[in-house]
Structure 1
Amino acid sequence: MVAPRAAWKGFLKVGSVTCGVKIIGATSEASRIHFKILNRKDGLPVKSAYVDEATGEAVDAEDQVKGFEIDTDDYVRIEPDEIKKLKLTSAHTLEVGEFVELGDIDTRYLEKPYYLIPADGAAAEAFEVIRKAMEKKKVAARSCVVLYQRGREVLIQPFGKGMLLTELRSDSEVISEQSVFKEIKKVEYDSDLTEIASLLIEKKVTRFDPSKFEDTYEDALIAMIEAKRKGEAPPKSAPRPKENLVNLAEILRKSLAQEGSGSRKGKATAFKTRSA
């Protein structure tokens, strides 16, 4: 198996300690279904192209240039070489500005993961000392990096023998929960229902195992494509579930019974007697 290519090479800097590191993508979309756009008339693939808004004619790649709109139809042109000449420390160095406790990390801000590893044997010792110290203190490092010609805030934390570097969303990209949760009204409910629901949850607790994840949408696409390839009828769509909360207590007890109540059966029965 060919080793994945590094998306970035540079240095990790913590205080006066600097070591060479590499950033390697931790995810892949190679196994996902990808569609091509076809011309409905002849069934051949079509290509996307940039066209001039005034003439409607395609513009060749060498004639394209980035532009930032400062007023209506008034642009500042930015050449590729001008972007490359920007002197940013984050273009070549992951300088750690601060550490945060792992428990304080708000997962809403976590976006895309990468692996962070030593660049070579000379960097291995310093990298391992930093990684081990972070692991001992249960902290993650906050830094920033220029990746794919864009500055990105990142979080770095120990992960196995290396580290995990995760792109962070900016605060402006995350919608405040207050703006959404304000629509939720306070409700009164029987505390016994929470106990029964807790027993139901207890029966379904397991280890976090991504190998068991199923992409039911992707599976349905594959089944549909295979059926069309064979000239067969497409699979039937799954029926929409119906809300069944007329008697929540009875539904919870039924769900618990289906899961099997085991040694806690007596407690569940007691709830049923008390609330009957």
Structure 2
Amino acid sequence: MARPIWNGVLSFGLLNVPISVMSGERKIDLHFRMLDSRDKKPIRYERVNADTGEEVPWKSIVKAFEYKKGSYVVIEPDDFKSAAPESHESIDIEAFVDAGSIAPAFYEKPYVLIPGKKAEKGYILLRDTLRKTARIGIGRVVIRTREYLCAVFPQGDALVMNLLRYSQEIVDVDDYKLPSAKPEGAKISKAEFEMAEKLVESMSSEWKPGDFKDEFRERLGKVIEKRVKAKDVTPTIEDESEVPEDATTNVVDFMSLLKKSLASNKRTPAKASAKKKTAAGKKESKPKKAATSKRKAAAHKKTKTARKRA
């Protein structure tokens, strides 16, 4: 089961509702490694000094802001700490606005809010009140070290929180040259509008998200599956030590990916359990293996001695 981002409270007015913040999205992208075409080995990326070309260890790297070309000001860890918001686990609602007043461009990332123990009453109270009044709660939330603007609204039986972009992050459509309400030369007749309306009506249907698939990913997945079955693959690296420490580690088990429709290289509980079982088996058989090794060593020593005498 997914783990919460954090546990805290959803506050509006003097009411506090204990909640858990859960991720509301699932990444299903196909991840690829970059290989050297000559020997099909993974490519390693190194951190190098732009002038000397020498590799720079992590401990010698600092962050800096380039305020003009070639001129930098170093930002110390304490500077980041002083600018960071208080890391408190709460969603603080500051205002309630009309549900249709926020343009789609403002919505960035969804989360699902799960009520804590004995918090159902406050959760239902806010959820159903927002639905009845057609309002959305606007507030602030700290995730990791950054403070975000967020919207809280009902979706089915859930309260959903969506991070919002700030207005300065969105390009004003007026920055582009767009046709006005009555563009010169665009003489659209009444019949054309009626025909366009009929076309829209004929193509109208209910919104069913499940009807829309990532067809490119599915087609590419079939290509990958076909290549794997045809054995058109590179040799597997058995020893993990051969992979450079700082190399990209998003190696994907494509067969597992295609079966489960997940683009993740993390071990599933079943695999982790199997690994533990295998490790336990090896541990139990270790004394027996050690005894066998001793007998082989003794026999080898005896043979060697006999050869010397001969």
Structure 1, unaligned runs of 5 or more: 232-276
- Counterparts of 1:220-259 in structure 2 under 5 Å? 220-225=219-224
1:99 is aligned to: 96
Kindly report the root-mean-square deviation, in angstroms, between the aligned alpha carbons of the 2 structures.
Answer: 2.6
Separation in 2, partners of 1:9, 1:78: 30
2:174 is aligned to: 178
| Aligned-partner residue type, residue 212 of structure 1 | D
Q: Is the 8 A contact 1:51 1:57 kept in 2?
A: yes
Q: Is the 8 A contact 1:99 1:141 kept in 2?
A: yes
Residue 60 to residue 124, structure 1, CA distance change in 2 (3 Å): farther
Give 1:210 shift. Answer: 1.1
1:1-24: CA deviation from partner (whole Å, max 9, x where unpaired): xx2111233221111112222211
Give 1:82 shift. Answer: 6.2
1:200 is aligned to: 199
Moved more, 93-102 or 49-58: 49-58
Q: Is the 8 A contact 1:68 1:78 kept in 2?
A: no
Give 1:196 shift. Answer: 1.7
Separation in 2, partners of 1:125, 1:89: 29
Moved more, 66-75 or 161-170: 66-75
Moved more, 102-111 or 69-78: 69-78
1:271 is aligned to: none
| From 4, 26, 34, the counterpart of 2:2 | 4
Separation in 2, partners of 1:140, 1:161: 15
Give 1:150 shift. Answer: 2.2
Is residue 126 from structure 1 mapped to residue 125 from structure 2 by the alignment?
A: no
Residue 87 to residue 173, structure 1, CA distance change in 2 (3 Å): closer
Residue 181 to residue 223, structure 1, CA distance change in 2 (3 Å): farther
Q: What is the TM-score with the length of structure 1 in the denominator? A: 0.71
Q: Is the 8 A contact 2:10 2:90 kept in 1?
A: yes
Is residue 141 from structure 1 mapped to residue 137 from structure 2 by the alignment?
A: yes
Q: What is the TM-score with the length of structure 2 in the denominator? A: 0.64
Moved more, 58-67 or 209-218: 58-67
What percent of counterpart residues are identical? Answer: 25
Secondary structure at 1:115's aligned position in 2?
strand
| From 70, 76, 79, the counterpart of 1:78 | 76
Secondary structure at 2:191's aligned position in 1?
helix
1:125-157: CA deviation from partner (whole Å, max 9, x where unpaired): 222222222222111111122224222111111
Comparing both chains, which one has the higher relative contact order based on Cα–Cα distances under 8 Å and sequence gaps of 6 or more? 2
Residue 66 to residue 92, structure 1, CA distance change in 2 (3 Å): farther
Larger Rg: 2
Residue 68 to residue 22, structure 1, CA distance change in 2 (3 Å): farther
Give 1:178 shift. Answer: 1.8
Separation in 1, partners of 2:99, 2:174: 24
Residue 44 to residue 218, structure 1, CA distance change in 2 (3 Å): same
Separation in 2, partners of 1:65, 1:146: 25
Separation in 2, partners of 1:61, 1:165: 36
2:51 is aligned to: 54
Structure 2, unaligned runs of 5 or more: 231-310
1:219 is aligned to: 218
Separation in 2, partners of 1:105, 1:214: 27
| Aligned-partner residue type, residue 153 of structure 1 | L
The runs of at least 4 aligned residues of structure 1 exceeding 6 Å deviation read: none
Residue 76 to residue 121, structure 1, CA distance change in 2 (3 Å): same
Separation in 2, partners of 1:215, 1:121: 38
